[in-house]
Structure 1
């Protein structure tokens, strides 16, 4: 069985490749030369002509969603069209929590992609990933310096897990039977608020850290001041508003059942930093 992983140079793609060591696996990326120790092929979501050859001979396509919000749909359509032409046996797609009903601003592109995959006639599994714990530690130095986690999520809870947890689930689904037609709602075993995140960071590093809940416009402006492009800053701020109303408070146990262990806790994750 040949497994092809797209987005193989990205954070999640690299972890999925690591989980699939020992399998007949191919890596597809915009820069295949950056990969070593694995058969790598050129496959660029923005260059549809590269994708059919990249997917040729694939039994299971682990389709890691594109990283640029707002540009995903044409990119994903190109992937699905190429999968049809290449006669891919099954698609495992990394989606988002409750993609078909979630009010979070990132969901519509995933919902549309799921519909494209369903309409393709190719057997599929949707991995509806919740937030990554890593989303909250990219600017950890700044958080510790200023003693604050900023957001607009109020007391909303987030069932985040690590990228490694999600990668392990993708590998299980790609290499075992019984997943066709399933949509797994993946996330951490315990959801947390941003106030709890701030307290966990404070405890781990022995420094005072609090959560500052901001009006959505102020949070968007703060993100811009940190260098986030204006459009994406607005998206992230609007995401927080939906978090306050429960968009990521989804604890199902699907992830821990697939990987055969509890998901990584917030404290365990922070301890490794």
Structure 2
């Protein structure tokens, strides 16, 4: 199994994962042209994709999903709540599959587990996907707090894409209006650096090979702040990478060792 980030942040998010003959895109917050360019950088193209998994309806995650799916004939998977949050007219010509946020499903060589998360969207989920040799990748962004349900599903992953959205002090002292600060920092907003570290220190990471930290705010966080927080982790247990808005992260391999 391998995965990569096309880019991660408030201006667009997309993660690609493949195993065997199946290649999935998780979210697509970029225009068709930008998505095509970023996929080409990874040596692939939209026609190589089998489906798009949607986490929720916010623009930085869904902006390019339906246009890309319509152009390339891709199946789109999302919860009924996410579907209801969008205009039904947008789905003309789309092969749409509505999923239960508490039931696993299969796409080609992948078993997919949606995980309900606390976020200010209609019915948001994140995903754990399992492929060859039962390797697993967890994608966990856009949640405001860590629940027992989240810990149960994301510990033991071989690969993990985790948000470090903001530094709490930078957000509190920044220029955002108070209402937006409250939303971001609240239990239904986004994880700060300390919360992400706490999660990593409280889940089983003995199988973790590749950790990608992303959705890093360009206004309320910095790469240096994230790196300083993560310096509290043992440095020899797994590889740590940082997905930025412009460049994402190149392909990372997971293997049974």
**TM-score, normalisation: structure 2:** 0.35
Greater percentage in helix: 1
**TM-score, normalisation: structure 1:** 0.34
